[in-house]
Structure 1
C-alpha cells in the first residue's frame, strides 16, 4: 500500500525542475518541511517510503543525508515524468538513493569480507545493489532527512533521546517498519549510534523475529577508525553471519 505521506507533498514535487541539479535552496524549503524542534528540522524525501517486505538483509543507517535526499528527488521526478506509477517511482527512487557514492563501496567491501555473498548465494555484495537487489532493504532509524542549521544530522547533537520528534521515529516508526518485513532477516545497523538504538529496542522487547548483527563500523569515509574497527570485529561478524545463514537452511 502506498505510503500516505507522499500525497501531502506530491503537488510541490511535481513543480520541481531537474534539468539542473537540485540544490538545498530547492529542497530544504517549507514546502517539504515535516517538523522542527529548535534548530533541528526534518524534511520529506521519497526514498524511504518503499519497503521491501521480502528482504533477506536490512541495512540501517541513522538518517538520510543531503546527498541521498538530492538523488532521491532527482530520480523520483524523473520516474514520475516517465509516467510510472507512484509505487514504481518509490521503488526506483529507493534503488537509486541507497548508500550512494564512496560509502557504498566501503560497505560492499565489509559485507564481502564478512561472508554475506556466501550466506546469500550471490557472487558479491555489489549484487545487492544490482540484479540481487530484491534481497536488500535499506532504511534509517530516523526515516526522513534531518538537518541542524542546514547540515546533516549525525545522531549525536542533539541526542535522539532529547528530541520528541526523533524519539517517535526511533521508537515507533522504525520498529513498525521492521515488523512489516518477513523473518528470518539479518538486520545490520551501521555505526555505534544505530547499533545502540537497536540494542535498546531489543532490550525493551520492541523488536522481534530477526537476527541483529552488531559490530559493523559505519562505512562513511569520515570514519577514520573504520578499517581498524572492522578488523577487530571481523571474526565475530563472520561467525554470526554464518550462524544466521545456517539457521535459514
Structure 2
C-alpha cells in the first residue's frame, strides 16, 4: 500500500510558486488553524515502506521545515516526480551520525532489537539509502503556538486540531508499517503512539515505551540505562529506578516479540 499524496498535491502548486517566505505566517501553506495553533504544510509525507524501525519525534521545527521546503522547491524545478521530491525532502529529517545515533544503536542493541531483526547490530539499519529506518513525527507537519515552535503544550491528544493530525497522518503510517518497531523520542510522541494503540490502530507490543531520549545531552541517563554507570553514582538529576525498570521491561517485550516470530 502506497502512502497518500493528496496533501502534498494540494500544497505543491503554492510551494513551487513561492520564493523565500515567512513559514510561520504563510497563508498559502497553512494546513489548519484554530486559536493560537497554526499547522503549516512542509514536505514530510514520504514513508519509507520497508522500514523496520520508526523513530517518532513531536513535530518538525521551523528550521527543519524551511530546509525541507527549499529542497522540495529545488527538485520540483528540476522536474522530478512528486514521490521523488518528497523522498529527497524527507532526507533532512534523518540523523546520520554522532552521539544521538550511537546512543540509539547502543540502547536498541541492549534490549534485543538487533536479534529481533537477525542483525549483528542495529547500526546496520542506518545504511545510507536503505530506508530501514523511518523518521517521522507525532504531528507530521510543523505546528506553531503563537508563532513559536510547538513543544508539547497544549496536549496534542486533548487539542482537536492536533489530535486529528495524529489520527489521520500518524495512523496512516502505522497502517503502512505494521511490522516495524516504533520508538517515541520522549513522552509526547509516546502518548500519541499509545493513543493509536488504544484505538486499535497500532500494536502496543511494538511501541518501545520508556527508552531514554538518545540525545548526547542525555548521556548520563543513557549510561545508567545501559548499565555503563553505577546507578548509585548517578547525579541528582537522574532517577535510576525507572530507567532500570524500563530496560528490563523492554528486554522482555522484545524477547516476546522475537518468540512470536519463531
Does TM-score exceed 0.5, indicating one fold?
Answer: yes
- Structure 1 residues 164, 115: CA separation in 2 closer, same or farther (over 3 Å shift)? same
Q: What is the distance in 2 between the residues matched to 1:128 and 1:71? A: 25
Query: Which runs of no fewer than 5 residues in structure 1 stay unpaired?
Result: none
Q: Residues of 2 paired with 1:55 and 1:173: CA distance?
A: 17
Structure 2 unaligned regions, length at least 5: 227-242
Which residue in the other structure is 1:141 paired with?
A: 138
- Once the two structures are superposed, residues 162-201 of structure 1 have per-residue CA deviations (whole angstroms, 9 ceiling, x without a partner) of 32111112234322331122x3221222211222232233
Measure, in 2, the Cα distance between the counterparts of 1:122 and 1:16: 45
- Contact 2:116–2:254 under 8 Å retained in 1: yes
Question: What is the root-mean-square deviation of aligned Cα atoms in Å?
Answer: 3.1
| Counterpart Cα distance in 2 of 1:5 and 1:13 | 12
Q: Is the counterpart of residue 60 in structure 1 residue 51 in structure 2?
A: no
Name the counterpart of 2:211. Answer: 216
Q: How far apart in 1 are the matches of 2:146 and 2:97?
A: 24
Decide whether the 8 Å contact of 2:139 with 2:170 is kept in 1. yes
Q: Structure 1 residue 8 and structure 2 residue 1: aligned?
A: no
| Count of matched residue positions in the alignment of Structure 1 and Structure 2 | 240
Q: What TM-score comes out, normalization by structure 2 length?
A: 0.75
Give, in whole Å, the separation in 2 of the partners of 1:71 and 1:245.
39
**In structure 2, what is the equivalent of residue 196 of structure 1?**
191
Length-normalised TM-score, structure 1: 0.79
Structure 2 distance, partners of 1:215, 1:41, is 30
Q: CA separation in 1, counterparts of 2:161 and 2:123?
A: 34
Give the 5 Å matches for 1:171-210. Answer: 171-181=167-177, 183-208=178-203
